Amino acid sequence: MNKTGSAAKVKLNSFDDLFGDGQPQAGIEQVQEIALSELHEFKGHPFKVLDDEKMQETVESVREHGVLMPGIARPRAEGGYEIIAGHRRRHACEAVGLETMPMFIRNYTDDEATIIMVDSNIQREDILPSEKAKAYRMKYDAMKHQGSRTGGLTLEELGETAGESAKTVQRYIWISRLSEPLLDMVDLGKIGIMQAVDISFLSEDAQQWVLITIQDTNAVISKQQSAMLKESDKKGELTFPMVRMLLEKEKPVERKVVIKTERINSYFPDTYSTEDIEKIIFQLLDNWKNTQ
């Protein structure tokens, strides 16, 4: 395949049979080699393209075999094409030094493009919570915009595609309302999913107070604490000092003291039993405590 021409065309079998995006296409569809410079990121693309181990595997695959599965894009009004599926493949092509990438060019509406973009990525195993939250929100909004379905039914349909319950999908959609720094903390495991749901109901100011407190104190928020934050904010009572008070509650330090038996025995005659030694040790400790 010519990898340098920007519009060379090759006939393949229907891409839907291979890709399964649910959009029927009659007959044979053409693949076009599109210049990488003409391929632009999907607007609001929720999935991060990282130079991690999996990306390196993709790069090596493209280096050895080329792009085996064409991407999908649609024409942009301002010129070039918006990638719907294939952001990681485009990045790999760029890393290898290729100038073009095989693409299917389709005239999808905004809602159709959004749904296909999410479906082409949501089944990956390494998706971050923030990516899933934003993706579910985008697809949910697109599905609602397409028809007059009830919210519950739309959530169920969305969950079926991703293999999750409607309740789980709803939680992630709520999490999408968090500020970016808080979403980063969810990705890093510093904030649990259920706690993140509670925090997502807070006002922008309150979310900022939570962020600052975590950054300043390394606080780990419990479900009880996040529920208290949510309830206080709902009543209009939450303030910055209250957030700090709730999250800075001193937690007991776990201590484990191990003293070798040989060292203890060196202080007592062999005739002393374990009970005798223990009694004397605690008497000495009591005396020490009373002097503090």
Given this model, what pLDDT does residue 186 score?
97
| Residue-level pLDDT at 199 | 98
Alpha-carbon distance 149 to 285, whole Å? 71
Residue 52 lies in a domain: yes
Residue 280 has pLDDT above 90, yes or no: no
Looking at per-residue confidence, does 150 or 270 come out higher?
A: 270
Whether 279 has a pLDDT exceeding 80, the answer reads yes
pTM metric for this prediction: 0.72
Q: How confident is the model at residue 276 (pLDDT cuts 50, 70, 90)?
A: confident
Decide if 178 is inside a domain. no
132 within some domain: no
Tell me the residue range of the domain where 279 lies: 261-287
Element (H, E) at 211: helix 204-217
Which CATH number characterizes residue 70's domain? 3.90.1530.10
100 inside domain: yes
pLDDT at site 273: 85
Domain count, the chain: 3
Assess whether 103 and 14 both reside in one domain.
yes
Residues 206 and 265 in one domain: no
Contacts 24+ apart (CB under 8 A), 71-74: 71/39, 71/101, 71/102, 71/103, 71/104, 72/15, 72/19, 72/21, 72/103, 72/104, 72/106, 72/116, 72/120, 73/34, 73/39, 73/103, 73/104, 73/105, 73/106, 74/105, 74/106, 74/107, 74/108, 74/113
- Residues 44, 14, single domain; the answer is yes
**Has residue 183 been placed in a domain?**
no
- 123 within domain boundaries: no
User: Are 219 and 235 within one domain?
Assistant: yes
In a domain, 137, yes or no: no
Domain shared by 27 and 45, yes or no? yes
Q: Is residue 145, in this structure, part of any structural domain at all?
A: no
Kindly report, residue by residue over 159-190, the tens digit of the pLDDT: 888 889 999 999 999 999 999 999 999 999 99
The whole-number average pLDDT for the span 146-152 is 62
State yes or no: pLDDT of 2 exceeds 80: no
User: Looking at the structure, do residues 237 and 267 belong to the same domain, yes or no?
Assistant: no
- In one letter, which amino acid is 162? A
The predicted structure's pLDDT at residue 150? 54
